[in-house]
């Protein structure tokens, strides 16, 4: 029987379990990405930008509720060296209570949201969207226990199942002419299927609550963690609220589609590794040398593979989006090409939580979240007079200014400095940017009149060649390739 409450420390097979966990998580995310691609392509052709804009108007306001319900307790559970059944039960009842409270508040806020945007349909949309909060609260502690036990395969099965089922239902509804309701019910379906799945995979049943010292410590840790997440959410979604209020549902629909593709791409490369990295690095807190080696290897590998992915997206998105979604999404494709430039440093910045969690310094994570959110809000106000394009460019610039300070600040308690971060990700960053510059020149000159599909293929080949010459040839970066070979061997076992 699986012991979810054992001591949280490295085992003899820790390295192999972490690697296999990473492989499983990335594999699950890849399958999920394929499902998402199918849903994006099909739903974008069946639905209008206005449909996406309506749903985004609600999500930009009540989307913070899942973070507040969680209270950061899932990460606190993973971070704790010792934990009891009674403590988990207490956290479970806290999150369920908050889920019900926020669901009621969300439903009651529907008329206010409808009045703010001047869109009466949003009242009922908000009511239905709020139902997902109850199901989410029921699943949080079971997810935390599965992650603590490094049961990534079980989590992957649940995640993929929820994605496939919700996508199938959404597409069927769109075919039936349900319009924006296909998008409204999709997250509700995901939360319900996920709750059922994690309860099936983790057969732990909550008992009575008891506010022990351990519970108070985890809540304190979680509140700091949620302080970052809340501040990050405010900075991240303020643009949706502002653009929706100024440009209406259709304008926001273009912006939201670009953000959706970008966020899903970022999620694809960061989220599957995040749960593995945070669980793994937390076990190495008392071994600084091994923690540094593991972190550097993970970050170098993420940067090596993720940065060129966003670089390629920046130079090919105008063709890919129009080919996949149709001419009506041209405005979104231009926005995406700008957002993709942000992804090059953003993949590094989004890993700062790994180190904050490993150091047990959620308070520093919260402080940085406030700083980052203030910077994003300043960028929003600076770019808003120039429309959606101005906002996108302002966000790109702010991310390039912040990504090194963000990761260096998170690593300071562990002895990690800026020069070490530059040594780990500098070659990949320079290679990605140089390849982008080359690709943009080729796209607008040599390949300007080439058919879209052929142009996209030629740009990918050109970009990859330039990136490989700089990173592998000039800087001789080898660690990510070694990790890649280890991953392939782990897959073969």
The pLDDT value given to residue 341:
97
HSE of 175 in the Cβ direction (CA atoms, 13 Å)? 8
The pLDDT value given to residue 272:
55
For the segment 275-314, what is each residue's pLDDT rounded down to a tens digit? Answer: 555 555 656 666 777 777 888 888 888 899 999 999 999 9
> Is residue 213 classed exposed, middle or buried when 0-12, 13-18 and 19+ CB atoms within 10 A define those classes?
exposed
Measured CA distances, 340 to 118, 315, 329, 457 (Å): 32, 9, 16, 18
Q: Which residues contact 2 (CB under 8 A, 6 or more apart)?
A: 149, 151
Q: Which residues of the chain have pLDDT under 50?
A: 14
- Using a CB cutoff of 8 Å and minimum separation of 24, what contacts does 320-327 make? 320/456, 321/261, 322/452, 323/452, 323/453, 323/456, 324/40, 324/41, 324/44, 325/40, 325/41, 325/44, 325/45, 325/257, 326/44, 326/45
The pLDDT value given to residue 104:
94
| Tokens read off for 403 | 């990504």
The pLDDT value given to residue 133:
93
For the segment 359-384, what is each residue's pLDDT rounded down to a tens digit? Answer: 777 678 778 878 888 898 999 999 99
The pLDDT value given to residue 488:
65
CA–CA gap between residue 61 and residue 242 (Å, rounded) = 11
The pLDDT value given to residue 298:
82
The pLDDT value given to residue 465:
97
Global confidence as pTM: 0.75
CA–CA gap between residue 51 and residue 182 (Å, rounded) = 9
């Amino acid at each position: 029987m699986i012991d979810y409450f054992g001591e949280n420390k490295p085992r003899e097979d820790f390295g192999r379990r972490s690697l296999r966990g990473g492989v499983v998580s990335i594999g699950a995310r890849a399958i999920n990405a394929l499902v998402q691609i199918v849903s994006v392509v099909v739903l974008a052709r069946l639905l209008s930008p206005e449909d996406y804009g309506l749903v985004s108007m609600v999500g930009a306001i009540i989307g913070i509720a899942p973070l507040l319900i969680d209270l950061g307790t899932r990460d606190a559970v993973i971070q704790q060296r010792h934990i009891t059944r009674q403590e988990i039960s207490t956290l479970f009842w806290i999150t369920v209570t908050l889920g019900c409270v926020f669901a009621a508040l969300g439903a009651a806020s529907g008329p206010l949201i409808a009045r703010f945007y001047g869109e009466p349909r949003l009242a009922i949309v908000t009511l239905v969207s709020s139902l997902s909060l109850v199901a989410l609260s029921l699943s949080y502690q079971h997810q935390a226990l599965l992650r603590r036990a490094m049961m990534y395969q079980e989590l992957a099965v649940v995640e993929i199942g929820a994605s496939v089922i919700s996508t199938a239902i959404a597409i069927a509804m769109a075919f039936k002419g349900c319009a924006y309701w296909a998008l409204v019910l999709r997250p509700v379906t995901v939360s319900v299927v996920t709750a059922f799945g994690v309860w099936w995979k983790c057969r732990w049943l909550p008992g009575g609550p008891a506010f022990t010292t351990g519970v108070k410590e985890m809540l304190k840790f979680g509140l700091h963690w949620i302080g970052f997440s809340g501040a990050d959410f405010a900075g991240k979604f303020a643009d949706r609220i502002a653009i929706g209020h100024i440009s209406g549902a259709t304008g926001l629909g273009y912006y939201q589609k670009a953000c959706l593709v970008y966020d899903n791409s970022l999620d694809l490369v960061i989220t599957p590794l995040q749960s593995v990295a945070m669980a793994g690095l937390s076990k190495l807190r008392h071994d600084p040398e091994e923690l540094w080696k593991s972190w550097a290897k993970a970050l170098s590998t993420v940067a090596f593979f993720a940065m060129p992915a966003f670089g390629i997206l920046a130079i090919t998105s105008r063709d890919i989006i129009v080919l996949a979604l149709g001419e009506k999404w041209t405005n979104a494709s231009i926005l995406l090409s700008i957002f993709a430039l942000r992804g090059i440093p953003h993949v590094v910045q989004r890993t700062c939580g790994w180190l904050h969690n490993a150091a047990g310094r959620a308070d520093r994570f919260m402080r940085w979240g406030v700083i980052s959110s203030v910077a994003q809000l300043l960028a929003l106000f600076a770019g808003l007079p120039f429309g959606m394009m101005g906002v996108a460019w302002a966000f790109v610039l702010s991310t390039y200014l912040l990504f090194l300070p963000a990761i260096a600040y998170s690593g300071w308690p562990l002895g990690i400095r800026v020069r070490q971060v530059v040594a780990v990700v500098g070659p990949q960053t320079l290679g990605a940017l140089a390849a982008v510059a080359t690709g943009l020149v080729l796209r607008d000159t040599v390949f300007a009149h080439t058919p879209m599909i052929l142009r996209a293929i030629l740009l990918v080949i050109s970009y990859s060649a330039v990136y490989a010459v700089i990173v592998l040839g000039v800087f001789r970066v080898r660690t990510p390739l070694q990790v890649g070979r280890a991953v392939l061997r782990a897959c073969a076992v």
